[in-house]
Amino acid sequence: MLFGEHAVLSGGAAIACAVEARLKVEVVLREDRDVFIYSALGDLHTRLDHLTKNSVHRFVLALLERWTNRLPSGVDITITSDFSHEVGLGSSAALTVAVAAAFRAICGLPMKERTLMDECLAVVQSVQGGGSGTDLVASIYGGTILYRPDTRTVTSLAEDLPIALYFSGYKTPTSEVIARVRKERSVLPSLYDHLYRVMNECTQQATGAIRERNLSRLGRCMNLYHGLLDSLGVSDKTLASLVYQLRDKGALGVKISGSGLGDCVVALFRDEAEIVELEGYERLPVTVSKCGVYVESDPK
């Protein structure tokens, strides 16, 4: 997430980019109605007609529930990833998109981006109790995109930006952060609504800056948006330290990336040569992927 955190849940636009870090899902049809899920998070054996409840594999199981009558048989699902699940790079969204795309392919259905988006958003919202779908859009379309949830329109903005991610070392589940913000908003609803309007305006200004490749203005928008996120109470001492250290080291703009209270901050530099390391924190290489989800079929 580059812009739109939290405000996107109130109808504001969001800007996100697909990172060149792949999550791969291999789906193989079986001759029975059994389902086997193999993952670094743990394996699971269940039945397609009597799916087990399991929090670790809740997104896959939610999709299986929707596909019970469309899949011709049980399946073996093997999940591998280029990145750790401990870092919030939209792994749940990437997983949901990949599994849904694989199911469509294995059933001989066309890969329609809007249809895939609608199904995946319904799954994520049912599991999480909400969500804008911005990370789903990035996983499906690739590149840097502007997403408007009210109309579900997607606009391509750029193929690359000189950005870097720095991991705080911990993260708070998005659902918990959203619940905390929702509780605070109930005390001062009109003031929070105004904050969201300003956030949306900041996202619109950032959209123009990206299109014009005006990195200085984009950096200012990032710094402003971080201040707005701080106003929501989703920053903390560690994130604030990361932000100011990176600004001191020459970053044009630094902000929380994602829901906050841990996870990552994203920093914008003038060019890739100026990207710095930060002692005590893991820097995650960020290359914007031009390609979103795709399917490879085994002719066997």
Q: pLDDT by residue (tens digit) across 159-215?
A: 789 999 999 999 898 889 999 999 999 999 999 999 999 999 999 999 999 999 999
Q: Report phi then psi at 6, rounded to 5.
A: 70, -50
Q: What is the average pLDDT score of the chain? A: 93
Rounded Cα–Cα distance for residues 63 and 248 (Å): 45
Rounded Cα–Cα distance for residues 138 and 14 (Å): 11
Contact 168, 239 (CB under 8 A): yes
Q: pLDDT by residue (tens digit) across 56-78?
A: 999 999 999 999 999 999 999 99
Q: pLDDT by residue (tens digit) across 13-64?
A: 999 999 888 899 999 999 999 999 999 989 999 999 999 999 999 999 999 9
Q: pLDDT by residue (tens digit) across 84-121?
A: 666 656 788 999 999 999 999 999 999 899 999 999 99
Q: Which run of H or of E encompasses 34?
A: strand 34-38
Residues 6+ apart with CB under 8 A from 26: 76, 77, 78, 80, 102
| Percentage of the chain lying above the pLDDT 90 cut | 81
Domains, in order of start, for the chain:
23-141 (3.30.230.10), 161-284 (3.30.70.890)
Residues 6+ apart with CB under 8 A from 19: 89, 165, 286, 287, 288, 289
Kindly give the pairing relationship between strand 75-81 and strand 34-38. Answer: parallel
pLDDT of amino acid 85: 61
pLDDT of amino acid 7: 96
Residue 300 has pLDDT above 80, yes or no: no
Helix (H, G, I), strand (E, B) or coil at 75: strand
